[in-house]
Amino acid sequence: MEFKIKEQELLAKIEELIKEGNARRIIIKDDKGRTYIEIPVTVGVIGTLFAPVVAAIGALAGVAANFTIEVIRTQDEN
């Protein structure tokens, strides 16, 4: 699943995806498809490790105007 967003929406969307709890990995790319950061979403990321991730995402917002967020979700249980 992919989302196209503007720089001011980047951090809020990442936080939303992490809170949903069904994402395994989040990949942030620029509008040319270059990967800036891959975030493995685990229980540890939500704890004390989340602060540096937020800082890195905040810094990315100043690099480009448009981003694509690719979300790799946990497999659906049938």
List the end-to-end C-alpha distance of the chain, in Å, as a whole number: 19
Token pair for residue 22?
């069904």
Within a domain: 59? yes
b/e map of 28-46 (b: 16 or more CB within 10 Å)? bbeeeeeeeeebebeeeee
Are 71 and 4 contacting, i.e. CB atoms less than 8 angstroms apart? no
7 found inside a domain: yes
Number of domains in the chain: 1
pLDDT in tens, 43-78: 555 555 667 777 788 787 777 788 999 999 877 444
Please check whether residue 41 lies inside any domain of the structure. yes
Residue 44 domain-assigned?
yes
Q: Is 62 inside any structural domain?
A: yes
pLDDT digits (tens, 9 = 90+) for 14-40: 888 877 777 888 899 988 889 988 888
Structure token digits, residue 2: 């992919």
| Domain interval for residue 11 | 2-73
Residue 78 lies in a domain: no
Confidence (pTM): 0.75
